[in-house]
Structure 1
């Protein structure tokens, strides 16, 4: 479940808890709404902790050159 699904769960739970006045026999819609909001919050925190670990490493714009390995030899054998 992605971040959008978690937000939908939170919104649906808030609607069931605060915006409805329905009575169903055997079902407490306020409790169902609170449970949906809690599950959505757990999903958001899990998603954000996973996303925080996935940091993209951007390569440097200029390549790093090892100065010890690259010498300016004229004859190819190390002599000048």
Structure 2
């Protein structure tokens, strides 16, 4: 669900920006759509960066084994 919210914001913003032709006196719907698209894109980029850096930091623990040499 890390990416779902970001994609939803981009989709809702695109619908408001490109498809809605309603004029409200106090609010510019196109501007709200643009802001939502930008916020969704930023959220998506932050999630991608967080996933990329967390994968790099993961260390698989290795069991310490003492090898016995038979002579």
TM-score above 0.5: yes
1:76 aligned partner: none
Distance 1:70 1:14 in 2: 66
**Greater C-alpha radius of gyration:** 1
Spell out structure 1 runs of 4+ moving beyond 2 A. Answer: 56-60, 63-66
User: Alignment partner of 1:70: what SS?
Assistant: coil
1:12 aligned partner: 12
**Aligned: 1:71 with 2:69:** yes
1:54 aligned partner: 54
Aligned pair count reads 69
- List runs of 5+ in structure 2 lacking aligned partners: none
1:39 aligned partner: 39
Root mean square deviation of aligned Cα: 2.6
The structure showing larger relative contact order (alpha-carbon pairs under 8 Å, at least 6 residues apart) is: 2
Distance 1:70 1:50 in 2: 43
